[in-house]
Every structure is written in structure tokens, then in C-alpha cells.
Amino acid sequence: MKLHLENLEGARKILIIFGILLLVVSGAFLIGSLLGIVSMESLAIGQQSGLRTLAGGAVVGCLLAAIGYWDR
């Protein structure tokens, strides 16, 4: 997968890289929790379940990457 970051300025590049990294980390935690490596209770924040926290991280990652690629 090629990200085509050559023509982007600093702030956009940081948003894209951070967004995709956040998406990958959320996906890794999801797979780890499905395999029993990470417990969902350890990922819970406040009254939210761990799955909701992971989904929120993935959504934020997608939004950050989309903002970085805006108008390209």
C-alpha cells in the first residue's frame, strides 16, 4: 500500500500518518481481544465498553486521515 505523501506539506502528512497509525493500533487491539490476548475490560474507559473505545479510536483515525487527504 502506497500512501503518496510526497506532495503533502508537514501538517497534512502528520495527520495522515497519525490517523492511519491510530487505525492500525485499534485494529491490532481488536484482533488481540478476539484472540484473548488483551481483555476488553482493560480497554474500557469510564462507563464505555472496551469495544466502543476501540471503535472510537478507529473512527478518529479514519477521520484524521481523511482530513489530511482533503482536496488531494
* Tens digit of each residue's pLDDT, the chain (72 residues): 666 666 678 888 888 889 999 999 999 998 998 898 988 888 788 887 888 888 899 999 999 999 888 875
Nearest to 72 by CA among 23, 13, 27: 13
Q: Which run of H or E residues covers position 6?
A: none
- Where exactly are the structural domains of the chain? 10-66
The model's pTM is 0.77
